[in-house]
Chain A
Amino acid sequence: METNFSLQSFLVEQYKNNQKTIKEGDSSKLAQMRDKAFEAFAENGFPDKSMDNWRSTDLTKALSHDYKILLQAPPYNPVDSYFKCNIKDFDTFMFTFLNGWYVHKNVPLTVFPDGIIVGSLAHAKKEYPEIVDKYLGTIAKDNNNPMLNLNGAFMQDGAFVYVPEGVQISKPLQIVNIVNTKEDLLIQNRNLIIVEKNAALKLVHCDDSVTTTDTFINSVSEIYVGQNAEVSYYKLENKDSQSLLINSLYVKQENDSRFLSNGITFNSGVTRNTITVNIDGSNCDADVNGLYLVDKQQKVDNYVRINHNKPHSRSSQLYKGIMDDQASGSFTGYVYVEKDAQKTEAYQTNNNIALTDEASVGANPFLEIYADDVKCSHGATIGQLDNEALFYMRQRGICERNSRMLLMYAFAMEVVNKIDIEALHKQTDDMVSRRLRGELSICDMCELHCGDHTELHFEIDMSKI
């Protein structure tokens, strides 16, 4: 029934017919950008497997699926009734987005006493055009990501965060994207996060689903890290197994800035995370980490690219994956060192464990280097649990199941331990252990919301190790 349907032509049509609605509130610069993005999309369409960096993500099924798009904000509908963040003692400023639109009661933009602005991008572009125009679309530039064109054409709402010079946010900021719909939606939000000079921000970005429908999320985030600013970005993905999630994150770093990213994929149908960090200043640190624990037919594709455009900066990538059942996981890490970016240090590690003979693992650790005075290295491994370590534990009387879990747990913890928000660390730790026991995927319908906080019990006391 869906065989002749082409998502691309549907979207092209939609854009042409609804330009006025989509462009509502756009500055002339933004409207121009939108048209350009649309033209690029109309011409090039969706990425396909012939593109080197899209080999591991298969969109074929989605491209003939009849998705709906929401061109206008739905009426106010408080999310409390069906959604509650279940992270214990997690004290954050929480902002929720439902089906791609900011959920609010007449306050589209919250201004904190110290000048921090958080809220809806759709409103920010009208109220703070000078800020939005300066940054929107200037950080996310990428010729190899056709999904960016699509988002550029259709983006309407998303999170807008502005942290002024010298301000440090007192608690982490949490942005939750919830999907709760009976229809199959194509959601395209755009998040713009600006952290000015000497400012600091901790941001937790969650993707959750309440209902199980064939949703397609094509989200683009842009983060500007000003001089000597610090941003920690946590991305938690816990979607239903039918969803298609494409996340593209673009970061621009100025001199002396620090950026830490930690992306954890617990559950999702098909996930593609693109992270591009442009180090446009010297003496920067970029630390990009990720963990993917997938089972059944889930597919995760992580693509991380770090562009060292200026000298004297450091970057490190650490991605780990555990693939169970027929799941497939892929990691592409790209380190690009520009001609004059001397004294660059870039490290990259990717470790994978396949638990079954049906799982597939891909690792593509790339280095492209044009400067000579650099230290770059990468390492990638695909394998199973270390037999000697297993033997060691068995020898000491720990049963096989426990030894395996302990090893997997230790394997995953290297990434989890990089989380520096305590409540989140604890919660992630807990989720990882439950995920490893297979509990998270038992309750497909409720995903994270089972409210069960029993901790993982090993035969030995973990705290004594």
Chain B
Amino acid sequence: MADEMNDVLQEVTGGEYKYGFYTDIEMDTAPKGLNEDIIRFISAKKNEPEWMLEFRLKAYQKWLTMKEPKWAHIEYPPIDFQDIIYYAAPKQKKELESLDEVDPELLDTFNKLGIPLDEQKALAGVAVDAVIDSVSVKTTFQDTLAEKGIIFCSMSEAIQEHPELVKKYIGTVVPIGDNYYSALNSAVFTDGSFCYIPKGVRCPLELSTYFRINAANTGQFERTLVIADEGSYVSYMEGCTAPQRDENQLHAAVVELIAMEDAEIKYSTVQNWYPGDKEGVGGIYNFVTKRGICKGDRSKISWTQVETGSSVTWKYPSCILLGKDSIGEFYSVAVTNNYQQADTGTKMIHLGEGSRSTIISKGISAGRSQNSYRGLVKVGRKALNSRNFSQCDSLLMGDKCGAHTWPYIKSENKSSIVEHEATTSKISDDQLFYCNQRGIDTEKAIGLIVNGYAREVLNKLPMEFAVEAQKLLAISLEGSVG
């Protein structure tokens, strides 16, 4: 039994990354390195207004004074920030009018990824903004959305077309100097998605962004801003892939969500950056700052993430629950394999009376990986009658990996209730034996158990993503998932 288990786990580590191809597209890149000139270059390239350049330069100055955070349970060689190309874009000769004009190589890339980029995918009911390397290449369904008054476009476009909205909200949830990587992002971000849902509008489509790092030696720094005005609803999805390369690439994104009174934002991520090979060579460093603020009363922000990629992940999607009776949710499945390292979790900051939050985190570690949950639940003095429930489970597959839980809980009033539960275990021999007895082989049994283990979170994903996430789990733990 033990041998069989080991064989299966061996196969698990045999899972290869399926999105590792590289598309040969003519690229327009900036020289390597980071300085004020590069920032001016990026800003000029994107034809940005003066205030945006100032925002960037301020962030750069702040960044220079900051230190890389060292507290996370991750190890990686020092990053040479001067060895990164901060701007890389597919060369565009003219404005695109229709899909036919998109570089066929590029279309091919997205077809390989299975992204519903072309109009045929209309039935899927998904509006897509695709960001390759640093630049948004195509946003679909803009017209349908415009009818409802919804703005969904690339960040660069938003800066041109809706400067007042961007100026009002950018950097309000994740301030420039929030942390090292958010400061870096604020200085050099090149594109991303922007979304505004007007008052009382229920977004009829699932909005989706696909991020892809294509060029070598580049970092991807995208910035996403989602604003849901009073009484609106939006479901937003995000997916990411990258080609297989021997060197590590940096991805430092910032995502800001703002939910006004009675608004709801559902943000789902399937993160599948290249995780490095079996020996831990290459892969993406995924250092992301994601934060949402429930500004109005009864607003709700829900984060759902399936983390299977990246060689190093450092990511804590958080909610600031400012409004009365606001709700924050965090559902996460993090799978690490081979030499992957993940330090991920959430922060729930209760400031409003009667705010509620739920945290469900499921970690699965295999191979020689390290998987950590790190979270904060803070209930402020004035957040009377708040409620939090957290559950963090870890599943260990193999004796060379690690699973860690670092929750921080702080409460400052008597009427709030905070509960935290965590367990760490492996797939028990009893469970496997039970399945074997009923004619399910060990490999299928592990699949069954892992799927059941993650179900609570997978169920929270929008339909299109749930299917993909399940497939991803299967790829990441290939050979063991049925």
Contacts and interface: CB of A to CB of B under 8 A. Distances in A.
A381 interface: yes
A381 B419 contact: yes
Contact of A382 (B397, B405, B418, B421): B418
B422 A360 contact: no
Contacts of A358: 381
Nearest to A383: B417
Given A378-B405, A382-B409, A357 B414 contact: yes
Interface stretch (A170-178, A293-301, A365-373): A365-373
Nearest to A337: B424
Contacts of A44: none
A381 B399 contact: no
Nearest to A380: B420
B424 A377 contact: yes
Contacts of B397: 372
A367 B424 contact: yes
Contact of B423 (A354, A355, A357, A376): A376
B407 interface: yes
Interface in A332-352: 339, 342, 352
B404 A367 contact: yes
A361 interface: yes
Interface string B394-428: 10111111111111111111111111111111100
A78 interface: no
B51 interface: no
Contacts of B408: 362, 364
Given A357-B384, A369-B396, A374 B418 contact: no
Contacts of B409: 361-365, 380, 382
Nearest to A334: B406
A356 interface: yes
A358 B71 CA distance: 30
A375 interface: yes
A92 interface: no
B420 A384 contact: no
A357 B415 contact: yes
B413 A374 contact: no
Given A52-B71, A354-B414, A382-B411, A366 B420 contact: no
A379 interface: yes
A380 to B, nearest CB: 4
Contacts of B412: 357, 359-361
Q: Find the residue from B401, B416, B424 having the highest chain A CB count within 10 A.
A: B424
Q: Find the residue from A342, A355, A359, A372 having the highest chain B CB count within 10 A.
A: A372
Contact of A374 (B73, B401, B424): B424
B381 A354 contact: no
B349 to A, nearest CB: 15
Interface in A32-88: 52
A366 B416 contact: no
Nearest to B425: A375
A54 to B, nearest CB: 14
A365 B407 contact: yes
Contacts of A352: 411
Interface string A235-253: 0000000000000000000
B398 A366 contact: no
A74 B402 CA distance: 53
B416 A383 contact: yes
A374 B425 contact: yes
Contacts of A382: 379, 409, 411, 416-419
A367 B413 CA distance: 27
Contact of A362 (B400, B406, B410, B424): B410
B407 A366 contact: yes
A308 B411 CA distance: 30
A222 B211 CA distance: 55
A369 B404 contact: yes
Interface in A258-284: none
A339 B421 contact: no
Contacts of A359: 412, 414
Nearest to B379: A382
Contacts of A370: 401-402
A369 B394 contact: yes
Contacts of A376: 423-425
B411 A365 contact: no
Interface residues of B, number: 37
A377 B423 contact: yes
A367 B418 contact: no
A317 to B, nearest CB: 13
B411 A372 contact: no
Given A372-B401, A383-B416, A367 B411 contact: no
Q: Find the residue from A363, A366, A376, A382 having the highest chain B CB count within 10 A.
A: A382
Interface in A372-407: 372-384
B402 A368 contact: yes
A373 B411 contact: no
Contacts of B416: 382-383
Interface in A145-164: none
A369 B424 contact: yes
B376 to A, nearest CB: 10
A436 B412 CA distance: 21
Contacts of B423: 376-377
Contact of A357 (B404, B413, B418): B413
A159 B232 CA distance: 68
Nearest to A362: B410
A373 B404 contact: no
A364 B377 CA distance: 10
A251 B426 CA distance: 29
Contacts of A378: 405, 420-422
B358 to A, nearest CB: 15
Contacts of A357: 381, 384, 412-415
Given A339-B399, A377-B424, A360 B410 contact: yes
B410 A361 contact: yes
A384 B414 contact: yes
Contacts of B417: 381-384
Contacts of A361: 409-412
A324 B416 CA distance: 15
Contacts of A342: 399
Contacts of A354: 411, 413-414
A260 B464 CA distance: 54
Contact of A372 (B73, B398, B406, B418): B398
Contacts of B413: 354, 357
Contact of B418 (A356, A364, A366, A383): A383
B407 to A, nearest CB: 6
Contact of A355 (B398, B407, B414, B421): B414
B394 A366 contact: no
Given A372-B398, A382-B416, A383-B417, A366 B406 contact: yes
A411 to B, nearest CB: 14
Interface string B209-240: 00000000000000000000000000000000
Nearest to B395: A372
Interface in B172-196: none
Interface of A: 52, 339, 342, 352, 354-384
20 contacts: A52-B71, A339-B400, A352-B411, A357-B413, A357-B415, A361-B409, A362-B411, A363-B410, A363-B418, A365-B407, A370-B401, A374-B396, A375-B425, A377-B422, A377-B424, A378-B420, A378-B421, A382-B417, A382-B419, A383-B417
The 9 closest A-B pairs by CB, nearest first: A372-B396, A383-B417, A382-B418, A363-B409, A367-B405, A354-B414, A376-B424, A382-B411, A357-B413
Interface of B: 71, 73, 379, 381, 384, 394, 396-426
Given A376-B425, A379-B422, 7 more contacts: A339-B400, A354-B413, A359-B412, A363-B410, A366-B406, A367-B404, A383-B419
